[in-house]
Amino acid sequence: MSKNIIKIFDTTLRDGEQSPGASMNTEEKIQIAAQLERLGVDIIEAGFAAASPGDFDAIEKIAQRVKNSTICSLARAIDSDVKAAGDAIANANMKRIHTFIATSKIHMEYKLKMTPDEVIRRAVRAVEYARTFVDDVEFSCEDAGRSDIGFMKEISDAVIEAGASTINLPDTVGFRLPFEIGAMVKEMSEYVKGRAIISVHNHNDLGLGVANSLEAVMNGARQVECTINGLGERAGNAALEEIVMALKTRSDVFSEFDTNINTKEIYPSSRLIASITGIEPQPNKAIVGKNAFAHESGIHQDGMLKHKETYEIIRPEDIGLDMKDTLVLGKHSGRAAFKDKLSKLGFTLDDEALNTSFERFKILADRKKEIYDDDLRALVTNEMTSAPKVFELVSLQLMDCSNGVPSAAVSIKKDDNEIIDASIGEGTIDAIFKTIDRISGYAGKLEDYKVKSVSEGKDALASVTVKVSFNDNEPAIIGHGLNIDTMLASARAYIGALNSYLSMEGKLKSRYSDSSKTV
Ligand code: KIV
Ligand code: ZN
């Protein structure tokens, strides 16, 4: 029996980016989109093109690069938004415009200040205009979870007539319970039957995003919108990995359904997004949390040793998690072995990126005896997702702080000039960051600092993540640094945040100076 394919619509790059502190630079977004394509996502919502020139640029680049997933841009039901979306995805192999307007009484009355008839007219106009750019148009009834179903039928008739082929019913505020979502989806699917696909987009304010999405599938939804690691506005969106693995693991219940997802790419996707956003899934998070496959109690361990299925419903390898920390390469490994290993880890690098990563690998191999898969993943991800290097660390010298005055001398390259300066600080990190501020002329405010080791051993790579605010009116920017030496990794992370900020400056300015441009 051929199965019904549930389309997976990933909105990590749009709704996920609306998670506080999850702003990403263009290079990071491109790498995430490439990983989502490997994962087998049907539709990638690459952003909200009208939000800023930076958002537009990232969507345009993703549209040029990704070939096997549909690239979608969000647009409010406004001509200028629809045009920006259409222009940004113009070069995509497969493209979709996703336009929306609120349909709940509370949103129409207080937010839009529009009558239901005006809302229908705006929606129809947006869909008709979107169809002049693309054949594939999705329409969302924002706050569908609290909208009148009669009104949603009326607006759906109108937008389907205007050319929409997907009707999305978001539970925007995560208010609904599974049986309510099930009833809404059933009634709407039966109503639009054969004329459009019903999609759901469930927020997780009551922790029900995934349960609501599965109930929707049972009741006729054929597209599910979700994000990796459940990122998203407020409490986030339904997590892609949980929906997909529930459908697969409980194929006895969901026997009619399947997805196009290559589940072995779930873990690499989760790690990539966690390292780019600096937002780690909670340790006990289903599927991708650090403890999701850890068996602590003696009774469980005993059962696992006797027969894995006593306590394991998902095999770690099915999500691409290799439980063995594989030793990969050493300092005598050549370029070919390095390239081969990277392709096994899912990285395809162009010649330039391969050369730089190989150089970094050689430097690391000189100092670290054993290099593991995780070291390589971290190294290459760090290389591939850095913003253009306006400032580049040349050297760092830390002065003797035994007299109680920590100080740092830093040398930084900018436009082929090397600038050296020094400063004292409250501690070593403070001294390093103050010196970088003096050289760059940007006064960053450190909001968060995290260090963790990438693999094990005293010579493990330190991975430092900083969150730095360069302007009080804009969100803080994440920076990453990687080195065996924690202080060098810290300096790199801080400079990385600064470079990222500079690459997004225009985008942040236009986005945060006009609050109407946020969704
Ligand atoms: O939550 C929501 O309603 C949205 C829409 C823009 C689809 O994100
Ligand atoms: Zn949303």
Whether 100 and 82 have beta carbons less than 8 Å apart is answered as no
The pLDDT-based confidence of 25 (bands split at 50, 70, 90) is confident
Measure Cα distances from 268 to 26, 319, 381, 456, 504 in Å.
Answer: 20, 8, 11, 19, 26
Distance 272 CA to ligand 2 centre (A): 22
Same structural domain, 397 and 373: no
Whether 404 is covered by a domain: the verdict is yes
Strand order in the sheet with 417-424: 392-398, 407-414, 417-424
The best mutation among 140, 168, 205 to test binding of ligand 1, ranked by most ligand atoms within 8 Å of the C-beta, falls on: 140
Same structural domain, 250 and 168: yes
Which ligand 1 atom is nearest residue 142's CA?
3
Distance 74 CA to ligand 1 centre (A): 9
Same structural domain, 205 and 70: yes
Same structural domain, 457 and 346: no
Same structural domain, 374 and 489: no
**Higher-pLDDT residue of 306, 170:** 170
Query: Residue 125 and residue 400: Cα distance in Å, rounded?
Result: 68
Distance 226 CA to ligand 2 centre (A): 9
Whether 486 is covered by a domain: the verdict is yes
Which ligand 1 atom is nearest residue 15's CA?
8
Which ligand 1 atom is nearest residue 143's CA?
3
Which two three-digit tokens encode residue 285?
Answer: 């998070």
Same structural domain, 358 and 400: no
Strands 257-258 and 4-5, bridge-based pairing: parallel
The CATH number for 462's domain is 3.30.160.270
Q: What's the pLDDT score for residue 442?
A: 95
Same structural domain, 266 and 297: no
Whether 515 is covered by a domain: the verdict is no
Query: Residue 341 and residue 333: Cα distance in Å, rounded?
Result: 11
pTM for the predicted model, two decimal places: 0.85
Whether 258 is covered by a domain: the verdict is yes
Taking only the tens place, the pLDDT of each residue in 133-152 is 999 999 999 999 999 999 99
What is the arithmetic mean of pLDDT over 273-283? 89
The CATH number for 264's domain is 3.20.20.70
Same structural domain, 305 and 234: no
Which ligand 1 atom is nearest residue 14's CA?
8
Q: Please give the full DSSP string across 223-259, using - where no structure is assigned.
A: EEEEBGGG--STT-B-BHHHHHHHHHHTTTTSTTEE-
Q: Is the CB of 42 under 6 A from ligand 1?
A: no
Max alpha carbon distance in the chain (Å)? 78
Same structural domain, 70 and 208: yes
- pLDDT of residue 398 exceeding 70, the answer is yes
Distance 172 CA to ligand 2 centre (A): 6
- pLDDT of residue 351 exceeding 90, the answer is no
Q: Strands of 253-340 (E only): list them.
A: 257-258, 327-329
Taking only the tens place, the pLDDT of each residue in 212-248 is 999 999 999 999 999 999 999 999 999 999 999 999 9
The pLDDT-based confidence of 472 (bands split at 50, 70, 90) is confident
Cβ count within 10 A of residue 333: 17
Same structural domain, 362 and 231: no
Span between the terminal Cα atoms of the chain, in Å = 41
Same structural domain, 192 and 280: yes
Whether 518 is covered by a domain: the verdict is no
**Which structural domain range is residue 94 located in?**
4-284
Whether 512 is covered by a domain: the verdict is no
Same structural domain, 57 and 134: yes
Number of structural domains found in the chain: 4
Distance 102 CA to ligand 1 centre (A): 9
Whether 510 is covered by a domain: the verdict is no
Q: What's the pLDDT score for residue 303?
A: 73
Whether 511 is covered by a domain: the verdict is no
- pLDDT of residue 439 exceeding 70, the answer is yes
